[in-house]
Structure 1
Amino acid sequence: MSTVDTVLAHAAARREESRARWFELLRIPSVSAQPKHAGDCRRAAEWVCEQLRAIGFTANVRETKGHPVVVGHHPGPTGGGRHLLYYGHYDVQPPEPLELWTSPPFEPVLTDGPNGPRVVARGAVDDKGQTMTWLEALRFWHETAGGPPCRVSVLVEGEEEIGSRNLAEFLEENVEELRADLAVVSDTNQWDAKTPAISTRLRGMLYTQIDIRAANKDLHSGLFGGSALNPINLLTRILGDLKDESGEILIPGFYDEVPDLPEALRKQWDALNFDEKAFLGGVGLSVPAGELGRGALERLWARPTADVNGIWGGYMGEGSKTVIPAEAHAKVSFRLVPGQSPTKVLAGLRDFIVARLPDDAQVSIQVFSMSEGIEVPADSPYITAAKGALEATFGRPAVLMGCGGSIPVVSSMKRILGLDSLLVGFGLDDDQVHSPNEKFDLNCFEKGIDSHVRLLGALAGG
């Protein structure tokens, strides 16, 4: 029996122990966006640190200007080989609205699902469950072989869900310590419940808040209506101008750096036979939105977007209050494709808004996150190794796919550390990430562990 087979057998015999450790982490309400949970974020960091120390890592909880980072190192066997940097995050999204959960969000529950048992809890898949897949794989290599088959470093942060706002500075301050040959990230999806996937491209992100102000106080709409500028009317008109009826974004220069999809890649994606009707039907929709004339996967993976994520102002309480508000606010995000500059898009957005401002209106734009899109060559030797490990685990070839989401640290690790990332994830489209009743199928969790056991063996060579 090979070493990898021995580790796999050991992992299979300890499924309940893996699940128990996963549940421990899920019970910590490490919501990075809410100050009341700062202590819980630190507790989650300390928990991860303790797990690493228990499996032979030198590990520490490190301070940032926000929530702490966990860094761990294992020298691996003597004689060289690759150096892998594993990345994950222990922070989670807020659980609200609580009334929509079928069970308490921080008390994991094992329930039945169409693909077998599933675990429901905030962070079940994003990213505590996925982080645990490789953490458990490292544990089982330690328990059977004395440690991983190559040098391994670990970086687990606590601010991914708020844009990794302090991580770039941490990376810049610790470049030499964190240098490696490859970053391994599990924060993406499988193709479907039975088919593994490797994400070879991520969209970037620009997330903003637009604040428009006019009068120095709220005004009576009877006394001032028809004379005073209404910031909500103005803001909604500007937001309505962002796109035309075909779904094209109208900020000048927005598409200057957006490449056309290569025909070979288009054919490859078409061959996946993505069912957009079923994809939308799962969330109660039926009609595709986005740019007309573009395929579903092209729109999801290779085209940029502009979306209003929230809008408010004026009176929002019970009943009526006839006011013309002094202020109006909106949160607007852009998913960007590889090649687009978030800085250039931000400048274009600012010019677009200013050009539509009348006298007496002022605008300010807050920026919460900026990251560039990433594309990894499909012929990378790391991709080849991952394809073999995944096919051996799932019994079918892995799909090379894009990802419409953004993982800010991936672009930061490329820019600051010079590291490419191997994006191997085990989530599913119906995991309700960021929504009530987030879940992770138990089969995906267990196959994730086995995949990482094999992947460690496959990547260990120099």
Structure 2
Amino acid sequence: MSIAAQLQSVLDRIDADFDNSLERLFTLLRIKSISADPAFAADCKAAADHLAKDIATLGFATEVRPTAGHPAIVAKANGSEANGGKDSRPHVLFYGHYDVQPVDPLNLWHRPPFEPVVTDHADGRKIIVARGAEDDKGQLMTFVEACRAWKQVTGSLPVDITIVIEGEEEVGSKNFVPFLEQNKEEFKADFALICDTGMWDPNTPAITTSLRGLLYEEVWIKAANRDLHSGLFGGGAQNPIRVLTRILGGLFDDDGRITIPGFYDGVKDLPPDILAQWKKLDLTPERFLKPIGLSVPAGEKDRLLIEQVSSRPTCDVNGIIGGYTGEGSKTVIPAQASAKVSFRLVEGQDPVKIRKAFRDYVTARLPKDCSAEFGDHSSAPAIALDWNMKPLAAARRALTDEWGKETILFGSGASIPIVAEFKNTLGIDTVLVGFGLDDDNIHSPNEKYDLKSFHKGIRSWARILGALAEMPKA
């Protein structure tokens, strides 16, 4: 029987089994797999064990593998190998992560974050509320459930699949990347699939074709050798907070452009046809900013809002610390002040060069008696995918068939560093399909995942797997 003939039975099975799919997701959501807090290390291991056991029931050869941090899951289903290598089926690598963000501040949650529930959104949508509901447990389970339906209906999977699920994505994948490098021959595939992105709106599917890179820096400005009494030293002693805020304030000009010398070197404009498509999407401040209580775009004034958040480089001050911040007052001139600064980078920008340019910018503006120290955190280059790659085209057709609306191809302002690692280490491109929405509150209290996103996400992956099976292998 052809793939097309089998597909409807697979979709019917997904619909009939959806309540069980939801309960399987709820079981995973109840596990407190917070990777950032060592107190939850046992929970992270429990999540890995649970997922490995579940995926093994689908016929995958599954292992929980140790890393220098939280364990990873590796699962393989190779039908071509079982058939003597005679098949020419595509081999895909699916990536997800079971770890979640901390839940703080807990008092802002409407219910306990690890007690998942289906409830009503203010606009009438049915939503799943729990930490990890969207990022990334709900998303990765759409793929697992699609595999389950194919296996239950046909007894096999339409393509060869390696699943790798890590437990440290939310803390920068620092131990997963070496794990990937150590096992790169094992993870070779034709291309990768990731479900950790979003829809254009609740009814319009999307494929992410570019990701901004990330550079995260920390800077300390130091002056006197101790905190000083502002009555005795005020006016005569240098204040690191004043120095730091002056430097940070100068990072932007009146038109919203970043003033670091050389920052825009290598940055290209969108191709005219892509820009024309994005204009038609009509992303307005009313739609994008009003729900978060804002009204005026803060980026480069000569750029569309969709460019500002998707395809242009940015700089943001994520935190400032200095002086006395406790209750009441303390008249002090601090000995130091610090800031955390992140840059979202685009294709053509080198994180190493941007780091040096930022540090040179800061040190060139230091007055006498002040010094600067720097700490680097995560960094990753930007990724731009080939809009014409065959797996992307197949996924686009499948999504359009499921949702009944043309699939949007657009750039994401976020960063998924593992995509660059797949390209650099494994030599493969990644198709980024996801079903998250802008109001899902990921990394925030009351994280949610639309019930429709979960249900049709499973159906979407079932269609995509079928479409990939009918695609000629490169």
Q: Give TM-score, length-normalised by structure 2.
A: 0.95
Asked if the contact 1:301/1:404 (under 8 Å) is kept, the reply is yes
Residues 2-22 of structure 1 show CA distances to partners (whole Å, capped at 9, x for unaligned) of 222121111111111111111
Q: Give 1:287's aligned residue.
A: 296
Distance 2:132 2:78 in 1: 30
Q: Give 2:90's aligned residue.
A: 82
Asked if the contact 1:103/1:109 (under 8 Å) is kept, the reply is no
Asked if the contact 1:115/1:193 (under 8 Å) is kept, the reply is no
Residues 215-252 of structure 1 show CA distances to partners (whole Å, capped at 9, x for unaligned) of 33222222222232222221111111111111110111
> Are 2:119 and 1:111 equivalent residues in the alignment?
yes
Asked if the contact 1:207/1:370 (under 8 Å) is kept, the reply is yes
Residues 134-173 of structure 1 show CA distances to partners (whole Å, capped at 9, x for unaligned) of 0111122222222311210011111211222222212211
> Are 2:404 and 1:395 equivalent residues in the alignment?
yes
Q: Give 2:12's aligned residue.
A: 9
> Are 2:433 and 1:424 equivalent residues in the alignment?
yes
Give unmatched runs, 5+ long, in structure 2: none
Q: Give 1:300's aligned residue.
A: 309
Asked if the contact 1:190/1:196 (under 8 Å) is kept, the reply is yes
Q: How many residues align?
A: 462
Q: For 2:21, which of 18, 22, 27 is the aligned residue? A: 18
Residues 170-198 of structure 1 show CA distances to partners (whole Å, capped at 9, x for unaligned) of 22111100010010011111111111111
Distance 1:430 1:67 in 2: 29
Give unmatched runs, 5+ long, in structure 1: none
Q: Give 1:166's aligned residue.
A: 175
SS for the counterpart of 2:161 is strand
Distance 1:45 1:91 in 2: 9
Q: Give 1:96's aligned residue.
A: 104
1:46–1:348 CA distance, 2 compared to 1 (3 A): same
Distance 1:326 1:139 in 2: 60
Q: Give TM-score, length-normalised by structure 1.
A: 0.97
> Are 2:413 and 1:404 equivalent residues in the alignment?
yes
Q: What one-letter code is carried by the residue in structure 1 that aligns with 2:115?
A: E
Asked if the contact 1:202/1:407 (under 8 Å) is kept, the reply is yes
Q: Give 2:194's aligned residue.
A: 185
Q: For 2:228, which of 216, 219, 236 is the aligned residue? A: 219
- Could you tell which deviates more after superposition, 36-45 or 285-294? 36-45
1:65–1:326 CA distance, 2 compared to 1 (3 A): farther
Q: What one-letter code is carried by the residue in structure 2 that aligns with 1:195?
A: T
| Structure 1 residue 64: Cα displacement | 2.1
TM-align CA RMSD:
1.4
Q: Give 2:252's aligned residue.
A: 243
Q: Give 2:53's aligned residue.
A: 50
SS for the counterpart of 2:409 is strand
> Are 2:254 and 1:254 equivalent residues in the alignment?
no
What are the residue-to-residue correspondences of 1:134-145 with 2, within 5 Å?
Answer: 134-145=143-154
Asked if the contact 2:265/2:348 (under 8 Å) is kept, the reply is no
SS for the counterpart of 1:252 is coil
Asked if the contact 1:109/1:120 (under 8 Å) is kept, the reply is yes
Report the identity percentage.
Answer: 52
Distance 1:115 1:257 in 2: 46
Q: Give 1:328's aligned residue.
A: 337
Q: For 2:184, which of 153, 175, 197 is the aligned residue? A: 175
